[in-house]
Amino acid sequence: GESVGLHLPTLSVQEGDNSIINCAYSNSASDYFIWYKQESGKGPQFIIDIRSNMDKRQGQRVTVLLNKTVKHLSLQIAATQPGDSAVYFCADSGGGADGLTFGKGTHLIIQP
Amino acid sequence: NAGVTQTPKFRILKIGQSMTLQCTQDMNHNYMYWYRQDPGMGLKLIYYSVGAGITDKGEVPNGYNVSRSTTEDFPLRLELAAPSQTSVYFCASSYTGATETQYFGPGTRLLVL
């Protein structure tokens, strides 16, 4: 079946730099996309979401971009901090009652 | 609100044993979900429920059972534990379905030996 995937398993950035985490999805029927942050030993924590009728959404220090033409999603984190170290998952939903389809995740490492 | 709570946090089972993973949410959410997460992987849906008395299979339901007698509780049952069920199990809930934010519990780490 179709699934959401990520381009890179690990991303290393300098503290204070901006981070960009990418995600490719394959389900053209997906209309809801969400980014989660998962710290070691914890459950996924909601960061930001976006619906297919939008191409950009901003939160506090985070921005999600959606390009439906190439089925690509990205998460931008401004001024990366040590507390941003975690695994980041993108997930999508085709609108049914069932759960989200998750990618494998990108491990974000912050260099001092 | 406590959000989504799960018990136990960690459990070791022998092959063939059974157990129930508990999940409770206090947000009055209609939808609840069970996922498993294998090492270095994303989450896969086991079962979900759209309301009390209604459950349905997800992507990987074999070896598991669920029930939803109340809005708050959504227990996951393993009848005959197998090593392939070694994983971290997450329960989640949302108000109106998969196109809304799902809130996750802290997880139950299960080891089957």
CA gyration radius, chain A: 13
Query: Which residues from A are below 8 Å from B when comparing CB atoms?
Result: 4, 31-32, 34, 36, 41-46, 49, 51, 89, 91, 93, 95-100, 102-105
Minimum CA–CA partner of B93 in chain A: A99
- Chain B contact set for A104 (CB, 8 A): 40-42
- Chain A contact set for B7 (CB, 8 A): none
The neighbouring-strand residues paired with B20 are B77
Count how many pairs of residues, chain A against chain B, have C-beta atoms within 8 Å: 71
Check if the beta carbon of residue A85 is closer than 8 Å to that of residue A109: yes
- Strands laid side by side in the B19-25 sheet: B4-7, B19-25, B76-78, B64-66
- Residue A99 and residue B102: Cβ atoms within 8 Å? yes
- The whole-angstrom separation of Cα A75 and Cα B80 is 41
Higher pLDDT pick, B95 / B90: B90
pLDDT at B12 over 90: yes
pLDDT at B82 over 70: yes
Question: Above pLDDT 90, what percent of chain B?
Answer: 84
pLDDT digits (tens, 9 = 90+) for A27-84: 888 889 999 999 988 999 999 999 999 999 999 999 999 999 999 999 999 999 999 9
pLDDT at A1 over 50: no
Check if the beta carbon of residue B30 is closer than 8 Å to that of residue B96: yes
Question: Above pLDDT 70, what percent of chain A?
Answer: 89
Burial of A65 (0-12, 13-18, 19+ CB in 10 A): middle
pLDDT at A98 over 90: no
Residue whose tokens read 């059974």: B18
Would you place residue B26 in the very low, low, confident or very high pLDDT band (cuts 50, 70, 90)?
very high
| Cα-based torsion angle of the residue sequence A77, A80, A86, A87 in order, rounded to the nearest 10 degrees | 30
On average, the pLDDT of chain B sits at 94
Nearest Cβ partner for A43 among B45, B56, B104: B104
